[in-house]
Amino acid sequence: MTLKDQITEDMKTAMRAKAADRLSTIRMLLAAIKQREVDERIVLDDATIVAIVDKTIKQRKDSIAAFQSAGRTDLVDKETAELAVLQAYLPARLSAEEVSAAVAAIVADLGASGPGDMGKVMGAVKAQLAGKADMGAVSAAVKAALSK
């Protein structure tokens, strides 16, 4: 079963259970997937859908930070609930040690050294770790590896 099929089945389950908050989050995710499919006239694979979920999660985290600084706890709670639903569609994330090891291996393979090679290393790392790790943590690991 593809990830898109799983999301669709979860939407049907949420409809039957009358879980309005969960249903609205899943519908929002499916709308983002459909929008990308229509815009690019393609059928998305699981890796691309994971990227969409990742982007949506990043938006939720940014919103939570903004709402917390504004003192809007009601909206923080709503965004946090959406975040929990969305995180269920991500594959298991790599630990910080696994990310550091993968980054170190890629830096060694590319022979990169110094901050000037950041773009080259990030391109290779992003291709390998997309959807498997938080890109913010990956970027920090690349910076640390290149500063040695």
**pLDDT per residue over 42-93, tens digit each?**
999 988 999 899 899 999 999 999 999 999 999 999 999 999 999 999 888 8
Which tokens belong to 87? 């995180």
Scan for tokens 């959406």, then name that residue: 82
Which tokens belong to 10? 């979860």
Q: What are the structural domains of the chain? A: 3-87 (1.10.1510.10), 96-146 (1.10.10)
Which tokens belong to 99? 């990310």
Instruction: Measure the CA–CA gap between 67 and 79, rounded to whole angstroms.
Output: 9
- DSSP class of residue 117 equals G
Instruction: Measure the CA–CA gap between 51 and 36, rounded to whole angstroms.
Output: 11
In the structure, what pLDDT confidence band is assigned to residue 11 with cuts at 50, 70 and 90?
A: very high
Query: What is the pLDDT, as a whole number, of residue 84?
Result: 95
Q: What is the pTM of this model?
A: 0.79
Which tokens belong to 23? 């249903």
Query: What is the pLDDT, as a whole number, of residue 122?
Result: 87
Query: What is the pLDDT, as a whole number, of residue 146?
Result: 83
Nearest to 76 by CA among 54, 84, 90: 84
Res. 19: pLDDT tops 90: yes
